[in-house]
Structure 1
Amino acid sequence: MSLPLGTFAGLLDRSIREIVALAMDARSFDATRIGRIADLWDNNALPLVGAACAPWPLRSRRASSGLEWMADLGADRRRLMVDLDPSLDRLLPTARPQRSVHRDYQGRVFPGAFRLTAEIIDVLAEDYDLVNGSVRSLTAQPSNEGLQVRLTLAAPRRFIPSTGRVSRDGSRMPWPAAPLKFTFNGVTNLQFDAEDRIGMAVSRTSAGSAVTIGRSGHLQATEASVWPDDPRWYESTAGQAADLTTQHERPQRRKPIPTSTLTAPQRAAARSLVMLMNHARLVHHYPNLAAGVPILDICRVAADAGSAIIAASARRGAARQTAFGQLEQRWRHVPPEVPPEAIRSGPVMLRHARYDEPHDDYDVPHHGSAVLLAAVPGADPAVPWTLASEGITQPSRFRITSAAFDDGQHIHHDGRVLRIGDALVLR
């Protein structure tokens, strides 16, 4: 077996083992990292099978191309791969510089995420009225970079769009406030109250970014970024300036390795594996469902999948097709979801908290909601903790501080209110 092919298959095995490590005990559960790892294999299971089943002279080259294509999505993707397998650092090319501004199919500029510098803060405040914006959603969760907070501020524009928005009935309507999506890493001193969510100010300090929300809300973060998710951004001051410097040619990704020669059993096995990994990443995209996703059962089904692909590809003729058919049969059955455990009074370790304010988004009403995800112990203290969740539609109160994520917390739930001392109140 070629070294690149072994590395490619080994990366899959390492990915599954890492997800197991993150999910084995709910106290270390990291939905974001699980989602990012599972996402590696959405478009890369087929290339792995394609490299493993290629003629011997082509396997090494195709495996190398597959790894390079996987890493070609940017520095964060490359960093994740190297984190899973440090040997990849010398095998993969340096990540290409990422552009924060791109062009769509009509040639209009649209933004990606900008690192939150003093300059970006000034430009943001020039185009959007942060003081009169409203926090539309806030998510807080522990990660390997400390406490992470994602905050969406619905901010009125200071510029006037040239045309109105086309509503569902074909009429022209005013554009709703623009969602500015902030990500804060290494957060300390978080304090947020949904009753006090109007207005936001951001500044740079020697330690990172400082944010005030409403009259008394605040947070500090070592790293921060913002994505102005505004379909009219190209008409903003920042957008017009970017239009003068952004090239029109779209960067070309590396070409994926050919998979057209794969047989039906080989292709079916790869697609079944993709479905397993896609199911695993639900814990990131739908945290309200995370406590019911059988993540460990999924990983048991997919355990040593990379090694199994190599073993199946080593066979010849009908035996190879049979081996891949058996893998497809093994991977096609996604373990069923289980009813999530509810959060009850007792010891907890909070793993995720989310608040969404009620709002209309492009003629679609969204009810307010709040979701908590927590690690809870069983009757045996030696047994790993499990996940429990609580979801409330249209909560009348949501208040949280960073202390809610400290170790050794006790939650009180009387059927109407969930409370962790003064650190969390939800009802």
Structure 2
Amino acid sequence: MTAPLIDPDRIEADYLIETAFDPMQAAEIMAGEQSSGTFISVPGETPELKERSAARVERLTVYDSVAQPTLPGAGRPNAGDGLWQRAKVTLSWPIENLGASMPNLIATIAGNLFELKPFSGLRLVDLRLPRAFAQKYAGPQFGMEGTRRLAGVHGRPLIGTIIKPSVGLTVEDTAAMVDQLCAGGIDFIKDDELQADGPACPFDARVKAVMAVVNRHADRTGKKPMVAFNLTGDMDDMRRHHDLVLAEGGTCIMASLTAVGMAGMIELRRHSQLPIHAHRCGWGALTREPMLGWSYPAWSKLWRLAGADHMHVNGLENKFSEADDSVIASARSLSEPLFEEAPMRAVPVFSSGQTVRQAAGTLQAVGSPDLIVTAGGGVVAHPDGIAAGVTAMCEAWDAAAAGVDLPTYAQDHPALAAALSVY
């Protein structure tokens, strides 16, 4: 659970640092760089101004030391023991420095400090914000409750997939695949982040063709699969594409966070009448080095505040470099309330190399069925076809909910048995 703010009118951020300098001295350099100070005293930086506007070092806890610096280019003092100390530092800023502005918040808590020479490691691990941010930014519009209502899925995870191949399919190919997925009982379908509005598969034509299929199945079954159309693009294009999805009866849109940026996400949320499925492509560059960048709980808080309803958290036993314990911590962090009066929880989306085999572990780790799982190859590469792939994924999650191991459950479920033979 996130600790409360010491002062409700100040912003707080926690960092993991590594430095050859005295850790308190290094922390004070951080505070100065990110508020009123610079490398030398300047006229006008009076004690009164510092008292009013300077960042403060609220807490510092030294952990351990290492013999070699993690990152290149770090400086060291002329005298010292030759070790690089690691510590947790909490800085705070008066909200009067920037106001409740998300873009300027990023510049404040994650600006030039990553380049400071006294540090051989610096990572933002958590943050806490004054209520003024909750008053300005509405956060997720739908969350889990609204997503379930639109998708017609209750009491279990939403079973989903990604249109694969990522690119190369025509509009007609895409609609045909969606037809098979809907026939197989899929809950959730999303565009790959590489598929947006290219000449080979234009957005407008794709939406109209796909929604004609989805609406036909919804009329037949009474349940409309949720499709997250990737509208990542310029702001005017995103607004127009959102309006088309809405007009065609669509129930979700998708945006790549690092591509549209904070200002783009904020404006998309203000315009949107649909859940926003937030993809984190490019996230690895911000987090893969453990002593640099951001932790997911801190990073995702900003996007939740900006309005993301669904957020990717990778998946267990994934095809990338992230360990399972990090994936689990990321997923659980999305349920931590941002503010007491405005929790702004987001739905964790599990993806990346997901098959029938991760269902039980994911459900046990998260402790709740309030999630979306998206399996690309884990559905469309099923040996008996796409519909069987959907059935097998649903059966795997049914087994997980019932507490039955997969081989036992597969004895009476041929689609699951076939999936276990290849995944």
- Report the TM-score when normalising by structure 1: 0.28
Greater strand share, structure number: 1
- Report the TM-score when normalising by structure 2: 0.28
- Relative contact order higher in (CA < 8 Å, ≥ 6 apart): 1
